[in-house]
Structure 1
Amino acid sequence: MSVSLEDWPGRELSDEELDVAYNVRRKAGEEEFARLMTRYRRMSDEAVDGLPGQPGVVYDRTSGEKLDVWGTGGAPRPVFVYLHGGYWRALSRHDSAFMARMLWEQGVATVVPDYTLAPKVTLEEIVRQVRAAVAWVHREGEEHGLDPERIVVGGSSAGGHLTGMLMVDGWQRTFGLPQDVVKAAMPFSGLFDIRPLVRVYVNEWLGLDVKRAAALSPELLPAERRCPAVVAVAEDDGTGFLEQSRRFRRHWGEAAELMVVPERNHFDVVLDLADPRSAVSRALLGLIARTGR
C-alpha cells in the first residue's frame, strides 16, 4: 500500500488547532475529567463484585503483563476483549471492567488486559502486547470458559486505536493465529491515522516520527478481510476523533457502521456499555450475536 507520509488529515492546521482537535481532557475540563476517572474505577469495582472469573492471569511471558477474565460459567462463552484508553500512558484493567456484569447477564464473558504504558515502552511494543492478549484468548481461553471462535474486540480512545490494530491483516501469522481470529470489532472514539499526533503534546511520551506513525495507523494498513464493525464516537467528542471515526468508517466500507452517540463526550460514551438498554450495548450485543456458529 503506497502512503504519502506528509498527506495526513489535519496537516493544514496549526499546532494550536491540532491541540484543540485532540486534547479532549482540556475540552472536558479537569474537574469533569477527574470525576469520570473516579467513575470508571467505581463502576468497574461494582461490576465485578461477586462476578465469577479469573483475575490477574499472565498472558504474555515477555512483558509479564496480566489480564482479567470476568463473567464465565458453564459452556465456553463468547468473549469481548476490551482495551482501555488513556493515550497509551494511563489507566489500567482495574478501571476498565464496567461492562462485565452487563455482558455476563447476556451470556458473554469479558477479558480486560493491561499493557505496559508509554513512555516505558514504545507504541510498537504496546501493539504487540494487545495482539498477544488476543492470541492468549484464542489458545488458552477455552480452559478459562471462553469460546476462542467468538472473539470480539473493542476499546476507547487509545484503546480504539489498538482495536484498529487488531482488525488489520498480517499480524495473525506472527502469532500462529487464523486470519479471522477477531470476528467483530467496536472501537470507541478511536485514532486510526495517528500521524497528526506527531505534532501534539501526546508525542512527548510516544516519541513518534511520521514514518513510524504511518506504520502504526490502522487506516493505512492492509485489511483484505473486513470484519463486521461498529465505529462509535461521542457527539461531543474532540473534532479530531469525530473526523477520524467518520473517515475510518468510510475506509472500512460496508462491513462498518458509524454510531455517533448523542449527549455523550469522549470519556463517558463508553460507560454506556454498563447499561444493556443503551444504544452502544445493543450494538455490541448485535455484533456478538453475529459471531454465533
Structure 2
Amino acid sequence: MAESFRTRSADPRTVLDRPAPPPDARVRYGPDPEQIADLRWPATATAAAPPRPLVVVVHGGFWRAEYDRRHTGPLAADLAERGYPVAQLEYRRTGQPGGGWPGTFDDVAAGVDAVPALADAAMPAGRMAPGPPILLGHSAGGHLALWYALAKPAGVRGVLALAPVVDLAQAYRLDLDGGAVAALLGGGPDEVPERYAQTDPARSAAPQVRTVILHGTLDRQVPVEMSRRYAAEARRTGAGLRMVELPDSEHFGLVDPESGVWSAVIAELHSMAG
C-alpha cells in the first residue's frame, strides 16, 4: 500500500510564473543553446552540515518548448538554501530543432553525464559532496529522470520522481496534454514500437537505484493511477521503489516551495541524500 498524508494544493499560475533569484553560474554541456544548466550552490559547508550531493533538477512541461527550466528556479533556490548544490538542466524539447526523438533523450543523457563535473569545477570548493547526483524530476522530467536511471544506474545516487509520466503508452492512449507523447516519439506505440521499448519506464523493471515517487491524488495533468500501477508492478517484481501519495494535492504543488506538499519532497530528499 502506498504511503499517504494530507497537504494543500498550489495555484499553477503562481507556481509557473513565480520569479527566483538568478543562478550563481551557468554551464554548457553541448553546442546547442538549450544544452545548458543553471547552477546554485549553498553556503560554505561546516562540520555540523557537511556538503551534500548535487541535485539535478529535470523540469517538466510535457517535453514541449513552451515550458523551460525557469519555473524550477524557486525550487532550486530553496534547495540551495537548505544546503544542496543544484543544477537546473535544460534540454531540447518538442517544437524546437532537434527536440523530441532522439534529441530530447540525447540531451538528458549528455547533460546528466557531464553536469556533475562541470558543477564541481564551477562551484567554490567544499560545496558539493563527491559521487553521483540525485535526479529530481517533475512530470515529464520525472519520466526523463527514471529513463536515465534505467539506462545508466551507476550514474545516479537516486531518483525523486514527482508526478512522473511513467507509462508512455498509457499517456498516449489518454492523449495527455493533447498529443504530447506522440509529439515526443513521433507516433503511437503501434507506429513506433521500438521507440516506446527504449523510452517507456513501464516496459522495464524499476531502476536499480533508490527511487521514490510522490504523486497527488487530485492530479489532473498526470493521473495518479499511472504511478500506482507502476509502483505495484515494481513491488511485485521485488524492486525497492516506494510511492508516497498526497491526498488533496494536485500536480503543481510538488514544485512549489510555498505549498504544503513541499515538506514531503524535502523529507524524501533528505532521506535519499543521507
The TM-score range, normalised by the shorter chain, is 0.7 to 0.9
Separation in 1 of the partners of 2:40 and 2:226?
31
Q: How does 1:84-95 map to 2 (within 5 A)?
A: 84-89=59-64, 90-95=66-71
Indicate yes or no: 2:37 matched with 1:67. yes
Indicate yes or no: 2:185 matched with 1:215. no
Q: How does 1:86-235 map to 2 (within 5 A)?
A: 86-89=61-64, 90-120=66-96, 121-145=99-123, 146-169=128-151, 172=152, 179-199=153-173, 200=175, 201-203=178-180, 205-206=183-184, 207-210=186-189, 211=193, 212-221=195-204, 226-235=208-217
**Structure 1, gaps ≥5 residues long:** 1-31, 173-178
Q: Deviations over 1:225-282 (max 9, x none)?
A: 6111111101201496312211222344452211111221012233148779712211
| Matched letter for residue 61 of structure 2 | G
Q: If each structure's helix is expressed as a fraction of its own residues, which one has the higher value?
A: 1
Structure-2-length-normalised TM-score? 0.77
Q: If each structure's strand is expressed as a fraction of its own residues, which one has the higher value?
A: 1
Separation in 2 of the partners of 1:41 and 1:239?
18
Q: How does 1:212-291 map to 2 (within 5 A)?
A: 212-221=195-204, 226-238=208-220, 241-253=223-235, 254-272=239-257, 278-289=263-274
1:16 corresponds in structure 2 to: none
2:3 corresponds in structure 1 to: none
Aligned-residue RMSD, C-alpha: 2.8
1:11 corresponds in structure 2 to: none
| Matched letter for residue 66 of structure 1 | I
Q: Deviations over 1:100-148 (max 9, x none)?
A: 2332233211111111120332233211111111111233232123445
The answer to whether the Cα contact below 8 Å between 2:221 and 2:251 also exists between their aligned partners in 1 is no
Q: CA separation of 1:113/1:241 partners in 2, compared to 1, >3 Å: closer, same or farther? A: same
Q: CA separation of 1:279/1:240 partners in 2, compared to 1, >3 Å: closer, same or farther? A: closer
Q: Secondary structure at the match of 1:162?
A: helix
Separation in 1 of the partners of 2:101 and 2:196?
9
| Matched letter for residue 220 of structure 1 | R
Separation in 1 of the partners of 2:115 and 2:259?
22
Between the two proteins, the alignment pairs up a number of residues equal to 242
**Structure 2, gaps ≥5 residues long:** 1-8, 46-50
Structure-1-length-normalised TM-score? 0.72
Separation in 2 of the partners of 1:38 and 1:277?
15
The answer to whether the Cα contact below 8 Å between 1:141 and 1:147 also exists between their aligned partners in 2 is no
Separation in 1 of the partners of 2:260 and 2:86?
15
Q: Identity, % of aligned pairs?
A: 23
Query: What's the offset of the Cα at 1:213?
Result: 2.5
Separation in 1 of the partners of 2:139 and 2:261?
22
| Matched letter for residue 169 of structure 2 | R
Higher relative contact order by CA 8 Å / sep ≥ 6: 1 or 2?
2
| Matched letter for residue 54 of structure 1 | A
Q: Secondary structure at the match of 1:149?
A: coil
